[in-house]
Amino acid sequence: MTDVITGGFGVDVTANQDEISDHETFQLEFDLSTKRWYIRTMQDRYWTLETAGGIQAVGDKRPILVLKCEQGFVGYKAGSNLQLECNKASYETIQVERSDRGVVFFKGQNGKYWHCSNESITVDSDVPEGFFIELREPTRICIKTSNPSGEYLTAEKNGSFRLGDSDYQTATLWEY
C-alpha cells in the first residue's frame, strides 16, 4: 500500500506488511511554540527526515512542560535551586518522562525528579514519583499524584506549591 501526503511537497509513505498492528497507529501533535506538526508512533518515536531523503520513525523529542497559575509561573524559590514556588514572573521548564498506564514523571534542569509533600515540592529526588495529567479545559490541566491517595498539586496565594487533597474541584487549574 502506498499513500501520498501532499501540501506543497510530496512524501511517499509505504507499508510493507500484510497485517495491521500498533505500528500503523500515529498521533498528530501541534507545537504552538514552534508552529510545527509532529507525528508520533505508538512506540513514542517521531517521524524525522533522514539525510538520504527518506522518512523514518526514529526521532526522539524531549517533551517539556511550563506551568502557570493565577499567582504566576512555577519556578525555583529565591535562594534555592531545589524548592519550587508558583508565583514567579519567569518560568522554569520541566522535563516530562512518560511511563506506563498514563503515568508521567517530572524532572528539573538539575537532572533530579520532583519530590512532593504536604509542605512543598522539591526537585531533589533520584527516584521518580508518578503523576497523572488530567485535561480539564482546552488550555488547563490538573496534576494528580499516582499514589493510592491521589492528591492534586495546589497553588497557594503566597506562592507555595504543594500537595492538596484528592478532590479535583479544589485542585489548581494549571495553564500549560
Whole-number pLDDT of residue 26: 74
Q: Is the pLDDT of residue 22 over 80?
A: no
* Residue 102, phi then psi, degrees to nearest 5: 85, 0
The boundaries of every CATH 2.80.10.50 domain in the chain are 2-59, 64-175
CATH of 64-175, one of 3.50.50.60, 1.10.3720.10, 3.40.50.10420, 2.80.10.50: 2.80.10.50
Whole-number pLDDT of residue 126: 97
* Residue 20 binned pLDDT confidence (cut-offs 50, 70, 90): low
Q: Is the pLDDT of residue 85 over 60?
A: yes
Q: What is the mean pLDDT of the chain?
A: 82
HSE of 122, CA atoms in CB hemisphere, 13 A: 10
* Residue 29 binned pLDDT confidence (cut-offs 50, 70, 90): confident
Instruction: Please tell me whether the overall predicted TM-score, pTM, comes out greater than 0.75 for this model.
Output: no
Are the beta carbons of 73 and 89 closer than 8 angstroms?
A: yes
Whole-number pLDDT of residue 5: 39
SS3 (DSSP) at 170:
helix
* Residue 17 binned pLDDT confidence (cut-offs 50, 70, 90): low
Q: Is the pLDDT of residue 120 over 70?
A: yes
Whole-number pLDDT of residue 135: 86
What residues are paired with 49 via a beta bridge?
A: 55
Are the beta carbons of 26 and 41 closer than 8 angstroms?
A: yes
Domain 2-59, architecture per CATH: Trefoil (2.80)
